[in-house]
Structure 1
Amino acid sequence: MPVEPMVSPVPSRLLPPLILFGLTLGLTLAGILARPIESLSLFWPVNAVLAGVLLRNPRQASPVGFALVYLAMVLADLACGSAWQPALWFNLCNLGAIATIWYLMARLPRLHRRLRTPHGTLCLFGACAAGAMVAATLACVMATPWFEESLRATWLAWFSEQFSTSVLVLPVLLTAPSPRALTRSGSDSQPIRLAPLLVLLGSLSLSIVFGGPGAIAFPIAALLWCALSYSAFLVSLLTLTAGSTLIVAVAQNLMHFSVPQSEPGVTTLMSARLGIAMLVLGPLVLACVSSANRSLMARLAHQATIDHLTGALSRSAFTRRANALLDDRQQHTPGLPLTLMMLDIDHFKAINDRHGHAVGDQVLRQFANTLQDHLHEGELFARLGGEEFVIVVPGLAPEQAKFTAERLRRAIQDLHATHAEQHLPITVSIGLAGCAANAPAPSLDLLLASADQALYRAKAQGRNRIEQAEAQRQVI
C-alpha cells in the first residue's frame, strides 16, 4: 500500500487577524472593568498598546485590521452594558488616536520608529500629542449627551489622559527586543546595576512623602542616571513605572498636589498628567543617545578585535591576548605546556591571480570557518595578514600538538571550494613552536619567529605538511 507523503501544515492567514481581534477585545474589557463607574479611566493603555502592536506588525495595519480593532472595542463596550451610540462614538475616538499615531510613526525610517535615535523619540511625542488631539476633538463633538463638564474640560480630560498614557506606554512596545534578539543576547547578558534602580525607588518614595507640585520632579535625576546605565527598553519600563506611580499618587491625593484654578477646566490630575508626560522626555532621549553610543563603541571594539573578512582575531587583538596568556602562564601555571602554530595557505597568490580577489576572499572565509569548526574553547585563532594565520594551543607541547595540526591540515585538504563549477584544491603548511611542560616560555616575538622558520621549511619541503621548530626539537 503506498504511503502518502507527510505535508507540513500551512500557517493559517486568519490567525494573525484573529489574534489582533482577541487582543483588542481583551484589552478593552480589562480597561472598562478597571475604570471607575461613570468616569473616564485613570489609565486607558488600549490605544497606545494597539498602536505599538500595529507599528511592530505592519502587515496587520490594513483596513481590515483597523476594522477588526474597532469592532472588538465596540463589542467589548456593549458586553459591559454600554448603549450602542456611546459605544460606537467613543470607540471611534479611540480608533482615531490609534490611526493617527500609527500614520505618523509608520512613515519614519525604522531606526527612528524603534526609538533608536533622539529624533525618533521627539517624533513619538509629536505623534502622541496629535493622536490625543484627534481623540479629544472627536469626543467633544458628541460630548453634550454624556458629559456634564464643559467642552473645554472634556477636551482637556481626554487629551491629558491619552497623551500621558501614550507617552508612557508606547516607548516600551517600540523598544522591546524581539524574541530572537533576546535568545541571541541571553548568553552575553551582564548583571544589571542596582544602584540607579534603588535611587529611583527612593526618589519616588520621597515624591509621595513630601508632596506638592514640585515633587513630581524628584525622580528626574534618578531617571537620567538610569538612562545612562540601562538599555532604552529598560529605561522605557522604568519611566512607565515612575510615571504611572506618580499619576496614581496624584489621583489618590497622596501628594497633596493642588493647581490654582486660573484656567477653567484645568484640574489637578490633568496638570499632573501633562507634567509627568513631559518629564520623561529627557530620560528617553538620553537613553537613545546612550544606547547609540554604546552600540557605536561595541562596533568599534569589534572592528578592532575581529578581522572583518574571516571572523578571526585581528593581529593587534591577538598580540594583546597572546601576551596576556603568556603572562598568566608565567605567574599562575608555569608548568603548563603551550604551542603556537603558524599556518599559510599554499599557492594562494596563484588563486588570486587566476580567479580574482573575490574568489580569494571566498577561500579565506572558508579556510577560516573550517579551522574555527575544529578548534576548542581557549585556543586563540587570528589572521596575521594576507593568507597567514596563527593558532595558540594552551595545554599541549609542540610534540603533542602535531596531532592537532595534522587534524587541521586534513580538514583543509578535504575542504571543497569551487568556482564556476571548478574545484579549487586548497592545502595548508603549518609551522610549530612552543614549550614543553615545566619549561620557561619564550616571548611571543620569539615564538612567532620560530614558528615562521618552521613554516618556511614546510613550504620549502613541498608544502601541505607540518614542521616543528628546530629549537623545540632539542628542548623536547
Structure 2
Amino acid sequence: MPVEPMVFPASSRLLPIAALFGLTLALTLAGILARPIESLSLFWPVNAVLAGVLLRNPRLAGARGFVLVYLGMVAADLATGSAWPPALWFNLCNLGAIVTIWYLMARLPRLHRRLRTPHGTLSLFGACAAGGMVAATLACVMAAPWFEQSLRATWLAWFSEQFSTSVLVLPLLLTAPSPRAFSRSATQPVRLAPLLVLLASLGLSIAFGGPGAIAFPIAALLWCALSYSPFLVSLLTLTAGSTLIVAVAQNLMHFSVPQSEPGVTTLMSARLGIAMLVLGPLVVACVSHANRSLMARLAHQATVDHLTGALTRSAFTRRANTLLDARQQQPLTLMMLDIDHFKLINDQHGHAVGDQVLRQFALTVQEQLHEGELFARLGGEEFAIVVPGLAPELARFTAERLRRAVQDLPFSEAGEQVQITVSIGLAGCAFDAAAPSLDVLLAEADQALYRAKAQGRNRIEQAEPYRQRV
C-alpha cells in the first residue's frame, strides 16, 4: 500500500493578528491597573506602543488590525469593571490617536520613519501632536459626561498626556535594531561617562526642584546623543522624561506654575515641557548617527575594493608596512598574483564577464587564506598577498594551493567554459634576515611574476636568492 506523503499545514495567517490582539489586551490591562482610581493615567504608553508596532509591521496595519486593537482595549476595560459606554467611548479616543500617528508616519519614506534623519524626528513630533489633538478633541466631544472638569481642562489633560507619552515612547520603538544588529552592538563597549552624568543631572533636578530644574539633564542628554546610537538615546530620553514626570506628579520637585489659564495644571505644564526637552537630543542623535555612518562608509570605501572585497592599494600599503615594522626578525613572504590572459577574457566576453571573473577569483583566493594574511587588489587584474610567519621556501606551498584552487575554479559564460589561471611571484625574507622595505619586496615579487609569465604562465617563480620553479 503506497504511503501518502505527509503534508504540513502552512503557518496560520491569523497568528500575527491574534498576537496583536493579545498584546493590546495585555498592555491595556497593565495600563488600567497602574493608573489611579477614578483618574486619568499618569503615563499611558499603550497608544504609542501600538502605533509603533503597526509602523514596524505594516502588514498588521489594515482595517482588521485596527478593529482588533479597538476590541482588545474595550475587552480590557470591560474585564476590569468598566461599563459599556465609557469603555466604548474612551477607547475610541485612544484609537483616534493611534490611527492618526500611524497614518502620518506611514506616509514617510522608511529612512525618515525609522528616525534616521532630523526630518523624521521632527515629523514624529508633529504626528504625536496631531494624535494628541485628535484624542483630546474626541474626549471632549464624546466622553465629556464622564469628566467633572471643564472642556478646556479635559482637552489639556488628554493632549498633554498623549503627546508627552508618545514623544517619549515612540522613538524607542522606531529606532529599535533588528535582533541580529542588537546582538552585534551588545558586544561593543559603551562609554559610561555620559550615562553617569545624566543620572547625576536627574538627581540634581529632583534635589534642586522648581520649574527650571526639568532643563538640568539637557546637557547630559546632548552628550549622550553624541556618544550613543539613536536607540540608546531614545531609551535614555524615555527614562529621563518619565522620571521627571513622576517626580513632578509626586511633588518631589516643588514644581508650580502660575494659574493664568483655567484648567492648566502643574503636571500638564511639566509634561509639555519635558516632551519638548527631548526634541534636541533626538535630533542630535540622528545627525550624529548619520555622520558616523557616512564616515564608516567612506572608511570602508577607502579600505576595501568595491568589486572584489580585497584591500585597496593604499590600505594594503599601510597594513603591510605595519607588519614589516612589527616583524621582529620573523619570516615574511609577499606574493604578486596576476590573472593570465585577462585582457583576452575582456575582449572575448565583455567587461561584465571580466568583473565576474575578478569577483570569483578574489573570493576563491580569500577562502584559501588564513587570519592575519593580507590580500589586496593593486590594480586591474593584479593582486598581492602578505603571509607573515612563513619564509618564501615554505610559502610556495601556499602559493601552489592558491594556483590550483584558481585553476580548478569552474566558470562558464553562456554555456562556454572559461578557463582561469594565475601566475604568482614570490619575494620575502627568512628568519633573522633583515627585512627589506615594502617597495623592494614589491619590486622583487613583480620581477618573479614577470618570469612566471614569460615562462608560460600558470606557474610560480621566486625572487633571488629563492628562485625555484614549482
Range of TM-score over shorter length: over 0.9
Aligned residue type for 2:194:
P
Q: 1:295 aligns with which of 293, 312, 335?
A: 293
Q: Retained in 2: the 8 A contact 1:22–1:72?
A: yes
Residue 339 (structure 1) aligned with residue 337 (structure 2): no
Q: 1:44 touches 1:161 (CA, 8 Å); kept in 2? A: yes
The one-letter code sitting in structure 2 at the alignment partner of 1:214 is G
Q: Matches of residues 37-186 of structure 1 in structure 2 within 5 Å? A: 37-183=37-183, 185-186=184-185
Query: Following the alignment from structure 2 to structure 1, what is the Cα–Cα distance between the partners of residues 144 and 165?
Result: 25
Post-superposition CA distance 1:230-286 (Å, at most 9, x none): 000000000000000000000000000001101100000000000000000000000
% identical aligned pairs: 85
Contact 1:143 1:154 in 2 (8 A): no
Matched to 2:181, the amino acid is A
Rounded Cα–Cα distance in structure 1 between residues aligned with 2:418 and 2:309: 22
Deviation at 1:9, TM superposition (A): 4.8
User: SS in structure 1 opposite 2:144?
Assistant: coil
Letter in 2 for 1:373: E
The answer to whether the 8 Å contact 2:86/2:143 transfers is no
**1:462 to 1:2, Cα distance in 2 relative to 1, 3 A:** farther
CA distance in 2, matches of 1:166, 1:413: 61
2:412 equivalent to 1:414: no
Separation of aligned partners in 1, 2:185 and 2:416? 42
The residue that corresponds to 1:377 in the other structure is 371
TM-superposition CA deviations, 1:144-183 (whole Å, max 9, x none): 3211100000000000000000000000000000113234
- State the Cα distance separating 1:471 from its structure 2 match: 3.0
Structure 2: how far apart are the matches of 1:205 and 1:393? 56
TM-score scaled by length of structure 2? 0.98
Q: What displacement does 1:11 show?
A: 1.8
**Which residue of structure 2 aligns with residue 261 of structure 1?**
259
**After TM superposition, which residue ranges in structure 1, 4 or more long, deviate above 4 angstroms?**
1-9
Q: State the partner residue of 2:232.
A: 234
> 243-252 or 407-416, which moves further after superposition?
407-416
Native 8 Å contact 1:143 1:151 kept in 2 = no
Q: How does 1:311-330 map to 2 (within 5 A)?
A: 311-329=309-327
C-alpha deviations, 1:204-224, integer Å up to 9, x for none?
000000000000000000000
Separation in structure 2 between the aligned mates of residue 8 and residue 308 of structure 1, nearest angstrom = 43
The 1:5/1:366 distance shift into structure 2, 3 A limit, reads farther
What pairs with 1:18-33 in structure 2 (closer than 5 Å)?
18-33=18-33
Alpha-carbon deviation of 1:473?
A: 4.7
Q: Pick from 202, 205, 217: which aligns with 2:203?
A: 205
Question: Pick from 370, 387, 405: which aligns with 1:393?
Answer: 387
- Structure 2 residue matching 1:323: 3-state secondary structure: helix
Aligned to 2:418: 424
Matched, 1:280 2:274: no
How many Å separate the matches in 2 of 1:232 and 1:421? 50
Structure 2 residue runs without a partner (length 5+): none
State the 1:190 CA deviation: 2.6
Pairwise CA distance, 1:8: 5.3
Does the Cα contact within 8 Å between 2:48 and 2:169 map onto a contact in 1?
A: yes
CA contact (8 A) 2:90 2:143 kept: no
Task: Using the TM superposition, give the Cα deviation of residue 51 of structure 1 relative to its aligned residue in structure 2, in angstroms.
Answer: 0.3
Alpha carbon RMSD of aligned pairs, Å?
1.2
CA distance in structure 1 between the aligned counterparts of 2:438 and 2:3, rounded to whole angstroms: 64
Question: CA shift at 1:7, angstroms?
Answer: 5.0
